[in-house]
Structure 1
Amino acid sequence: MAVLIGTRDGVFRIATVPVTDAELVIDSGDTPRIRTFPTIDGVFAATKSGLYRSTDDGQTWENLSVPQDEVYSVVASPDSECIYAGTHPAHLYVSTDGGDHWRELDGFQDLPSRDQWHTPRHRNEAHVRSLSVHSETPDRVIAGVEVGGVHLSEDQGETWTERRDGVHDDVHHVLVLGPDEYVASCGDGLYRTRDAGQSWTRLDTGLDHRYFREAFTFDGRLYAAAARSSPGTWRGENGADAMLVESTDDGDTLETTSYPGGPDEVVLAWTAIDGDVLAGTNDGRIIRRDADGTWTDAGHVPAGIRSLSA
């Protein structure tokens, strides 16, 4: 089974773990998301030069021509009828024919806070950083906006409700644990909701680190990683000062663990392969969690890792 790796320079494909050879398969530039979905064929790469799809294990790719070039997120509905794409600037599009044609979901622009969404270091505009659905709520779409908060639609993206009260508005990723339970990784904290965002609980109150990029769950264990501050500080005198945490109770308690590359390197991406968890860091390192719970070095790719998919 191949692993597809979204990096700052495009998408790499590796055939084995540990890494023996990494092939650049899309020269697409920055690639925030690589994703597969249970009900739709292929793998999707959301990149700053478009949304790409491969149906041959990442060997060849087709640009699906989303109206905005900079695609930050993608998700497919559980019935495979809809593919949603989130972009920069923050717009949302849907395709009902497998990506051949796209329609903007204009209701997303009608949210009351829309005029407040902006990210100073991204041309003072926001982007849809995360899109999620759950099989038990197939018409519900959950969107995380950097910077703009969490928002929810119950009608396949036509109309929207804000779920941003109680969660930091710099949203990097929303992990769906159940139909109403989500974990949001934010620029200032890790948050959980058990009522579809109507209320939020902060999970990182016992930690010194506040900058979370993405959480992951596998085999009953929650994984998350954080840096002490935002990426602009990671190359300074003190480095990223990063940490990796694990939880067996959905985040109620977070236990720190050591890992190759830490604390200088930040884990930004996750996937699972052959029953093991893989993670990727901002310096291009891949690490693997062994059966005894220790993390080992599994090799490098030539650019900082942004996303992973097995």
Structure 2
Amino acid sequence: MALLIGTNDGVVRSADGTLDDTERMLDAGDTLRVRVFDGVAFATTRTGLYRSIDGHSWTDLDVPREEVFSVVTSPDGERLYAGTHPAHLYVSTDDGETWRELDGLQDLPSRGEWHTPRHRDEAHVRSLGTHPDAPDRLVAGVEVGGVHVSDDGGETWSERRDGVHGDIHHVLVLDAEEYVASCGDGLYRTHDAGRSWTRLDENLDHRYFREAFAMDGQLYAAAARGSPPSWDGPRGADAALFESTDGGDSFETVPYPGAPDEIVLAWASHDGRVLAGTDGGRVLARERDGWSTLGEVPAAVRSLTAL
């Protein structure tokens, strides 16, 4: 099974996932996320949304706004969603041939508050998620703007931002009601589709989370002490990696290659193992006795997925 690596310099492909044979397949600049749905790969980049069936050749799907930050399909595969910068949401029902904006996202009461100087005083839809148990539900994470939920395929929306930090980097959808939100200030969990949130990082000394991942009953997360501008200092990201066997009620801090200078930004499962990618271009594998370096690529790893 091939491994696709989204980096800040395009998409790299490893045919067997060992990283002994990596080759850049998509020269699209900063690639924020690579995801696979029903055997089809999608890459969200600052130059567009691209699709591939083999990881070799890629097609630009011409989303109306160039900077695409997130992508997801409906559980039945009939709808393809793309979240952009500035924060707009589009849907396609013909495999990306045409797009329609879901204007309901713009009608939310807090829409005027979605901005930050770091992102040109604008925001973006950084995370999109669905779950088969709620086929019409769409979960959107906005940086900076909070979590919002639609129960009619994105036509109308409810704000679920109370109790969670507004700087949303990723929302891990575990089931129809349980999500884990990785934020610029904290890690949060909800058991009721965002109506209430619990902070999971109160006993941790790192606060800047990018993404969480779950596999075989274990929850993985990583964080830095500060935001990316601080990572250029003498201590790098000053990061840590956390593992939990109880859904985030408690965490163990575990060592990993590249720590503490490099922060884990990406997660995936591949051939039964958990993989992690760092801002230093390192791809890690979780072995029985701990984390090891699987290989390296010459750019920061932003996303990992198997195809």
TM-score bracket, shorter-length normalisation: over 0.9
Q: Which amino acid aligns with 1:30?
A: D
Contact 2:218 2:245 in 1 (8 A): yes
| In 2, Cα distance between equivalents of 1:119 and 1:21 | 40
Contact 2:61 2:97 in 1 (8 A): yes
Q: Does 1:269 align with 2:282?
A: no
Q: Which amino acid aligns with 2:43?
A: A
| In 2, Cα distance between equivalents of 1:82 and 1:162 | 22
Q: Does 1:101 align with 2:63?
A: no
Equivalent position to 2:77, from 52, 77, 80: 80
1:209-220 to 2 correspondences below 5 Å: 209-220=206-217
| In 2, Cα distance between equivalents of 1:47 and 1:119 | 20
| In 1, Cα distance between equivalents of 2:202 and 2:93 | 42
Q: Does 1:295 align with 2:291?
A: yes
Contact 2:235 2:260 in 1 (8 A): no
Q: Does 1:285 align with 2:275?
A: no
| In 2, Cα distance between equivalents of 1:192 and 1:76 | 23
Q: Which runs of 4+ in 1 moved over 6 A?
A: none
Q: Which amino acid aligns with 2:221?
A: A
Per-residue deviation, 1:15: 1.8
Structure 2 residue ranges without an equivalent (≥5): none
CA offsets 1:169-206 (integer angstroms, 9 cap, x no match): 00000001111000000000000000000000000000
Q: Does 1:44 align with 2:50?
A: no
| In 2, Cα distance between equivalents of 1:16 and 1:256 | 30
Per-residue deviation, 1:16: 3.3
CA offsets 1:55-77 (integer angstroms, 9 cap, x no match): 12x01111111000100000000
1:28 aligned partner: 28
TM (normalized to structure 1)? 0.97
1:307 aligned partner: 303
Structure 1 residue ranges without an equivalent (≥5): none
Equivalent position to 2:166, from 160, 165, 169: 169
| In 2, Cα distance between equivalents of 1:126 and 1:177 | 25
Q: Which amino acid aligns with 1:208?
A: D
| In 2, Cα distance between equivalents of 1:16 and 1:133 | 29
| In 2, Cα distance between equivalents of 1:178 and 1:16 | 30
2:135 aligned partner: 138
Per-residue deviation, 1:309: 0.5
Aligned residues: 306
1:55 aligned partner: 53
RMSD: 0.8
2:240 aligned partner: 243
Partner SS, residue 109 of structure 1: helix
Q: Does 1:202 align with 2:204?
A: no
| In 2, Cα distance between equivalents of 1:308 and 1:148 | 25
| In 1, Cα distance between equivalents of 2:269 and 2:276 | 9
Per-residue deviation, 1:286: 0.4
Q: Which amino acid aligns with 2:244?
A: S
Contact 2:179 2:189 in 1 (8 A): yes
| In 2, Cα distance between equivalents of 1:238 and 1:259 | 16
CA offsets 1:36-90 (integer angstroms, 9 cap, x no match): 12xx34111111111111012x011111110001000000000111110000000
Equivalent position to 2:146, from 140, 144, 149: 149
